[in-house]
Amino acid sequence: MLLSLKGKFLLLLLAVAAVSLSSSLFLSRLIIRDFQSYHEGEMEDRVYWVTADLEGTFEQHGGWPRDLLAKDTARALLLGLEIRVRDAGGALVMDSDQALALLPPLTRERVLAVSGPATKGGAYLPYPLFLKGEQVGQLEVRFLDRGKERFFISRANRFLALAALVLGLLAATLGIIAARRLARPITALATAAEAISRGELEQKIPVGGNDELGLLARSFNQMAHSLKLQNALRKKLHANAAHELRTPLAAMRAEVEGMLDGLVPAGREQLQSLNEEIGRLTRIVEGMEDLIQAEASPLNIRKSRILPSQLLQGITERYSPRFREKGVELAVRADKKLAALADPDRLSQIMINLLNNALKATAPGGSVTVAAAAAPDGTLISVADTGRGIAPDDLPHIFERFYRGNEGGLGLGLAIVRELVDAHGGRVEVRSEPGRGSTFTVFLPSS
Ligand code: ADP
Ligand 1 contact via 359 beta carbon (within 6 Å): no
Atom 10 of ligand 1 has which residue's CA nearest to it? Answer: 404
User: What is the rounded CA–CA span in Å between residue 315 and residue 372?
Assistant: 14
pLDDT higher than threshold 60 for residue 235: yes
pLDDT for 121: 65
pLDDT for 2: 55
Which pLDDT band, with edges at 50, 70 and 90, does 331 fall under?
very high
Q: Calculate the average pLDDT of the chain.
A: 87
| Mutation test residue for ligand 1: of 350, 414, 439, the one with most atoms within 8 Å of CB | 414
pLDDT tens string 120-170: 667 889 999 999 889 999 999 988 876 777 787 788 788 878 887 888 788
Atom 20 of ligand 1 has which residue's CA nearest to it? Answer: 357
Burial class (CB in 10 A: 0-12, 13-18, 19+), 428: buried
Average pLDDT over residues 405-420: 84
Tally Cβ neighbours within 10 Å of residue 67. Answer: 9
| Mutation test residue for ligand 1: of 357, 418, 419, the one with most atoms within 8 Å of CB | 357
pLDDT for 233: 73
**Dihedral angle at the C-alpha atoms of 353, 355, 358, 364, nearest 10 degrees?**
-140
Ligand 1 contact via 361 beta carbon (within 6 Å): yes
Ligand 1 contact via 368 beta carbon (within 6 Å): no
Residue 64 sits at the vertex; the CA angle it makes with 61 and 69, to the nearest 5 degrees, is 105
> Which residue has better confidence, 341 or 240?
341
Atom of ligand 1 nearest to the CA of 401: 6
pLDDT for 120: 62
Share above pLDDT 90 across residues of the chain, in percent, rounded to a whole number: 40
pLDDT for 188: 87
Ligand 1 contact via 437 beta carbon (within 6 Å): no
pLDDT for 159: 83
Residue 241 sits at the vertex; the CA angle it makes with 235 and 242, to the nearest 5 degrees, is 90
pLDDT for 115: 74
Atom of ligand 1 nearest to the CA of 412: 6
Ligand 1 contact via 175 beta carbon (within 6 Å): no
> Which residue has better confidence, 335 or 301?
335
> Which residue has better confidence, 390 or 14?
390
Atom 13 of ligand 1 has which residue's CA nearest to it? Answer: 404
Atom 8 of ligand 1 has which residue's CA nearest to it? Answer: 411
User: What is the rounded CA–CA span in Å between residue 307 and residue 295?
Assistant: 25
Ligand 1 contact via 407 beta carbon (within 6 Å): yes
> Which residue has better confidence, 182 or 302?
302
Atom 23 of ligand 1 has which residue's CA nearest to it? Answer: 358
pLDDT for 91: 92
pLDDT tens string 204-232: 888 877 888 888 888 989 888 888 877 87
Q: Which one-letter DSSP state was computed for residue 400? A: S
pLDDT for 338: 95
Distance 66 CA to ligand 1 centre (A): 131
pLDDT for 118: 56
